[in-house]
Amino acid sequence: MPVERLQKILARAGLASRRHSEEIILAGRVSVNGKIVRELGVKADPSRDDIRVDGKPVRSEDKVYLLLYKPRGYVTTTSDPQSRRKVTDLLGGLSQRVFPVGRLDYDSEGLLLLTNDGNLSYVLTHPKFHLPKTYQIQVEGIPGADVLERFRSGIDLDDGPTAAARVRVLRSQEAKTLVEMTIFEGKNRLIRRMWEAVGHPVIRLKRTRFANLTLRGLRPGAHRELTSAELAQLRGIVENRRVQKDFHLPGRIASGDKIRQEGTPK
């Protein structure tokens, strides 16, 4: 096996995501052949070198890819100082340690991918791939066409303008509206902040799709392994950048790709 960067070795061994592996290295918790490493960019050969984290040997483990229907009232972390319920509590007697890919807020629900494949997790959350994530969102009030159009050009938030998003109205009743929304970026609490900015706070939020993955067949709190076909397609989306073609990635939505409105009240 060729030499490779330590953070990649740690991620592939399922110890942490690649980004978290970098933090572990910088903290001086990693040693190679008995010497502490505190710099990124150091390479090693996992088949020959003695690589340890906190004094424990690094060993590769079988890769696990889980699709979870996250209920509301769970945090998307593997530890929580407030002792709240964690998504990993829903996995039962799983022997491997897995990590969430991205985040869903405590009060949000829906599709969440968990894996011990740090390399895949890294690319799935990297901004340059712009993987689409789709949500069903209930908001206060009845947003008009002018409000929906703002999502197409981007909305100015405190941390800068958002990328273009896709929004369509599913139904409205009793001063509440259910919309479907697809975004292509992963800023903190982005959807809630966008709707707050246009005057229609989010009441309930559920992620229904991530790239090619959907919640079909899952109930809240349940999980299953990805099929080999799903995993192959997911990797293909990243490796071939098909997502840029299939979803007309922003930047800006193509001029002919209008925001759809279905069931918009008169």
pLDDT for position 183:
95
Domain 4-57, classified CATH 2.60.40.10, yes or no: no
3-state helix, strand, coil in the chain (%, to 5): 25, 30, 45
Q: Which helix (H) or strand (E) covers residue 121, if one does?
A: helix 118-125
Architecture of the domain spanning 61-266 = 2-Layer Sandwich (3.30)
Around Cβ 156, how many Cβ atoms within 10 Å?
10
pLDDT for position 237:
83
Q: What is the DSSP letter of 59?
A: -
Enter the tokens of residue 108.
Answer: 């949000």
pLDDT for position 240:
63
Cβ distance 90 to 223 under 8 Å?
yes
In one-letter notation, the amino acid at residue 181 is: M
In one-letter notation, the amino acid at residue 214 is: T
| Residue in 111, 98, 104, 115 with CA at minimum distance from that of residue 73 | 104
pLDDT for position 119:
78
Catalytic residues: 105
Is 0.85 topped by the overall pTM? no
Mean pLDDT per 10-residue section of the chain, whose length is 266 residues: 83 80 93 93 88 88 91 91 92 84 94 89 81 96 94 92 94 95 90 96 97 95 95 84 45 36 36
Q: ∠ at Cα 178 (66, 70), nearest 5°?
A: 20
Q: ∠ at Cα 76 (73, 80), nearest 5°?
A: 85
Enter the tokens of residue 78.
Answer: 């593997």
Domain ranges (residues) in the chain: 4-57, 61-266
Cβ distance 169 to 206 under 8 Å?
no
